[in-house]
Amino acid sequence: MTTTSTLRRALLYVPSSSQKFLSKSLLLPHPTDNITYDLEDSVTPSLKPTARTNLLTHLSSLPKPPPNVGELAVRINAISTPHALPDLTTLAPLPTSTLSALVIPKVNSPSDLTFVIDILRQVSNPNEPPKKLIALIESARAVMDLKQICEAGKGYLDGLIFAAEDFALDLSLTRTPSLREFLYARSAIATAARAFELSSTIDLVCTSYKGEEGKARLEEECRDGKEVGFNGKQCIHPSQVEIAQRMFAPEEKEVEWAVRVVIADEKAQAAGRGAWTMDNKMIDAPVVGKAHSVVAKAKKCGLDVEGLKKKWQGQEPE
């Protein structure tokens, strides 16, 4: 069972049919939370066997852990296709230190996850931690069955991803810049991920990535996703990774506030005070809990929390 929260502010897809992309995937100029090698949408049916073989060779040759990458994952083909079983039997036996997560597309029912879990139990090393599963939610049926899907994945499921384009196709929707048409589905996915204590709830792909306009669009979508409850973004180009990871990390002012709250609360607790004020605002248990959460995430994101603690060591509860 997953016991630690995995940071996936950006989930970068890399087509496994391209040897060039496979070779370049670990040469990004900055640390990357997640690289997901894709065997599904970016690979044509005729190339899927070759892509699978190339990916196995690539993963088997990598250092453990690879430099500057928090997690390596593979998006297999949908369970409804004949490609899913060979994807799983070929790649799932790899050590968890090499391949730690599987992204499962088109999860429409609990049975899709139980099928994957059954195969993992048969082919994985029982002495290793289980592979984490991240489910792509792409249909109206999947949204309505989120509770049952999350329950079926217990012990393996570690995240949910919203696939906007397939969802739009299922409902005959037209995607707009406001993303208003997806609000119900996105809120349901983010809420389910939190209710089942999953590490990740990853938002839709931003199809714009070129120039200043693409950068601004990506930032706006990340900001909107964060407000809805997502903590990561699917990326289709390496240039999107730095922006997504920055946008889904706590902001500097937010971290500074959280550090001040944590320091002052320790002093308030020592004095037997359950509620107190800071900056003329009441601070109680839920606010303190939020502050601790922000500090913990800031540390995982590599922000200078210790420097802020030294700066604000004199903070007192008002």
Return binding residues.
Answer: 75, 138, 166
Are 233 and 244 a contacting pair, CB within 8 Å? yes
How are beta strands 10-15 and 101-104 bridged, if at all? unpaired
Q: Tell me the binding residues for substrate.
A: 75, 138
- How far is 87 from 227, CA to CA, in rounded Å? 36
**Helix (H/G/I), strand (E/B), else coil: 185:** helix
Residue 57, H or E segment: helix 48-60
Annotated binding site for Mg(2+): 138, 166
d(CA 39, CA 241): 20
Residue 267 burial by Cβ neighbours in a 10 Å radius (0-12, 13-18, 19+): middle
Report residue 223 as tokens.
């900001």
CA distance 158 to 120: 15
**Torsion angle (degrees, nearest 10) of CA 249, 35, 45, 54:** 180
Angle of helix 252-270 relative to helix 285-300, nearest 10 degrees? 130
Structure tokens at 241: 């990774």
User: What CA–CA distance (Å, rounded) separates 236 from 307?
Assistant: 35
- How far is it between the farthest Cα atoms of the chain? 69
> How many angstroms separate the CA atoms of 205 and 146, rounded?
20
Answer whether 135's CB lies under 8 Å from 113's CB: yes
